[in-house]
Amino acid sequence: MDKLLMKKYENAIWIGKSLFERGRATGSSANMSFIHEEKIYITGTGTCFGRLAVEDFAVIDSRGNHVSGARPSKELPLHQILYKKDEGIKAVLHTHSFYSTIWSCLDHENTNDVIPEYTPYLKMKLGKVGLIPYAKPGTRELFDSFRENIGESNGYLLKNHGVILGQKDLMSSFYTLEELEDSAQIAWGLRNENQPKISELK
């Protein structure tokens, strides 16, 4: 195994462990992937972020064929759609982290940008966060809905489901996911009308 691929595996395993230990990924509900030499390396179905190993990743070639490793996550098509949307995306993270998920359960007037801009950092790291209409996880309906609704946003909340986003590498995806979850927590905390109103950035 070449050194660059080994480093990507090490980052992926560290990210999974960090998210799991802090409750931002639970059970076997999350998945992540990265690109290496035109192949997608994605966590296998049923794997747990808290105990990932190299053998827990599936390898998918440029034609979408499973060429080695574990059986790929059933949400592989979501990752493939993001890679196709933007050639600059080289790593994708999808979790059911608490605040992003609970924010995805609410109704939002502007579905192209659903996270209020209370701080500047999410926009700086990511941009707009769109809301994808609900469909059951792992279904063709979800994949079609995702493909049809990703155009104007940079990261996404899957309604009643969780967050998915992609960046130039694994660590950038991790940092951005952290920022999105923190932003959703702030938005949730300030949603109560009894709390002081804070002006959004203009």
Residue positions annotated with a catalytic role? 75, 121
Q: What's the CA angle centered on 197, arms 194 and 199, to 5 degrees?
A: 165
| Residue 170: other Cβ atoms inside 10 A | 23
